[in-house]
Amino acid sequence: MNLTITDVRLTPILVADPPLLNTQGVHQPYTPRLIVEVETADGVVGVGETYGDTKYLELARPFAERLHGRQVSDLNGLFTVADEVAVDAARISGQVDVGGLRGVQTADKLRLSVVSGFEVACLDALGKALGLPVHTLLGGKVRDSVEFSAYLFYKWAAHPAGAPAEADDWGAALDPAGVVAQARRFKDRYGFTSFKLKGGVFPPDEEIAAVRALAEAFPGHPLRLDPNGAWSVETSLKVAKELGDVLEYLEDPALGTPAMAAVAAGTDVPLATNMCVTTFGEIREAFTRGAVQVVLSDHHYWGGLRNTRELAAVCRTFGVGVSMHSNTHLGISLAAMTHVAATVPDLHHACDSHYPWQSEDVLTERLTFDAGRVTVSDKPGLGVELDHERLRRLHRRWLDDDGTLRDRDDAAAMRVAEPGWTTPAVPRW
Ligand SMILES: [Mg+2]
């Protein structure tokens, strides 16, 4: 068996995305993703997926070049490659202080997000070469299926007129009745029993009413509200008080660890985050201050599936819960999320996934939700197969774009409908 990497292919694509609203604006008609293929000397191909914006591509390209001749089993070596690429990137851009690039957490996350795409591809290839599923390479599954939550969004019926976009049949959801109708459809179609509403879009009273309506329509179902840090500490505490009896947790009500700690000190409602704990370096302060009770992991920006397991171990040590965050993603990432989630012992909350919102994929067969769960594949690797024709079509869309959609910008998408729109200052309410 020869595990030497002989070819790496990077394919940036644009994927149709419905007009989902958040505190920054609205999703663009198409969102960029990057598909990674790693091929071994034996002709085994592993696939990975990560963010596809230009800044990720600029790091992924030199990263891919450095993988030639390495082993797909050398997963720790990917972090060495990431360090080398960061130094190169700084030199290329003329920066003298490479420490700045390493020191800034967003730059760190950028590199880890690139690492994750390659790590997943290498694990897929290694699993295929060995005839073992990815969860086995991670130590083995502790459950046969992984529960996901319905990810509810305030939403327009369509993207603004004039924008090139794919139609969707979900309709608008701009008030409590619309949110409940959307939730019902999620439940009927996919069997989800746990609901998360993306908030920070309307004044808090309207979002409180929407969650109340969900609680009445689906009694006893776990509910979550995530305004992405749009509220002040005072507003967060008001919402926590009004919804405390129905919320499983409140997600990032206020921005940053100090504000989250202040909220946590004033309520018994658990706080979850994918904003104030996004790197290992942010854990100490947040955990010692009791700012968060649930960390939403994301293998993309935490640096892969093995780092996700390390994060889960740290959370376990501190008695902090763990669940999973999601950005717009396709089936490769859903498969990766499912494999790693299957290996985390104390996963007590349903994971988030945007997947039902994506009508397009690059796989020959879409993954499915049954009773709100994805079955853990026991096939070699991730257990998914790339559809090269679909990949080509979505890459063609990326090639044809004039550059305006190659970088996700929800505020720019909002300006198409509201010309004066700028990203709101935080706290917004
Ligand atoms: Mg969130």
pLDDT tens, residue by residue, 234-268: 999 999 999 999 999 999 999 999 999 999 999 99
DSSP letters along 178-212, please?
HHHHHHHHHHHHH----EEEE-SSS-HHHHHHHHH
**What are the backbone dihedrals phi and psi of residue 381, each rounded to the nearest 5 degrees, phi first?**
70, -145
Q: In whole numbers, what is the pLDDT of the chain averaged over residues?
A: 94
Residue count (the chain): 429
C-alpha dihedral, 363 to 368 to 373 to 378, nearest 10°: -50
Interval 381-385 mean pLDDT: 98
How many alpha carbons lie under 13 Å from residue 11 in its C-beta half-sphere? 23
Catalytic residue among 196, 198, 221, 349: 198
Provide the pLDDT for residue 94: 47
Residue type, position 78, single letter = L
Q: What are the residues whose beta carbon lies below 5 Å from ligand 1 (ion)?
A: 226, 251, 274
* Measured distance CA(301)–CA(270) in Å, rounded: 23
Distance 227 CA to ligand 1 centre (A): 8
Catalytic residue among 325, 329, 339, 349: 325
Walk across the sheet containing 223-226 and list its strands. 150-153, 195-198, 223-226, 247-251, 271-273, 294-297, 321-324
CA-CA distances (angstroms) from residue 246 to 22, 205, 277, 291, 294? Answer: 22, 15, 25, 21, 17
Sole residue written with tokens 């009694």 = 219
* Measured distance CA(50)–CA(334) in Å, rounded: 11
Provide the pLDDT for residue 90: 61
pLDDT tens, residue by residue, 42-54: 999 999 999 999 9
pLDDT tens, residue by residue, 94-109: 443 333 322 234 678 8
Provide the pLDDT for residue 89: 61
Distance 274 CA to ligand 1 centre (A): 5
Interval 401-413 mean pLDDT: 93
Provide the pLDDT for residue 52: 96
Provide the pLDDT for residue 88: 63
State the DSSP H helix or E strand holding residue 15, giving kind and residue range, or none if neither.
Answer: strand 5-16
pLDDT tens, residue by residue, 30-41: 999 999 999 999
Provide the pLDDT for residue 21: 98
Distance 74 CA to ligand 1 centre (A): 32
Long-range contacts of 282-289 (CB under 8 A, 24+ apart): 282/105, 282/257, 283/314, 285/257, 286/257, 286/260, 286/261, 287/318, 287/320, 289/257, 289/258, 289/261
Q: What angle do CA 129, 134, 137 make, to 5 degrees?
A: 85
pTM: 0.95
Q: How many CB atoms lie within 10 A of CB 199?
A: 30
Please, what are the domains in the chain?
Answer: 5-135+387-401 (3.30.390.10), 139-375 (3.20.20.120)
Residue 159 annotated as catalytic: no
Q: Look at residue 323 and tell me whether its pLDDT is greater than 50.
A: yes
Interval 105-119 mean pLDDT: 87
Residue 325 annotated as catalytic: yes
Q: How many CB atoms lie within 10 A of CB 94?
A: 6
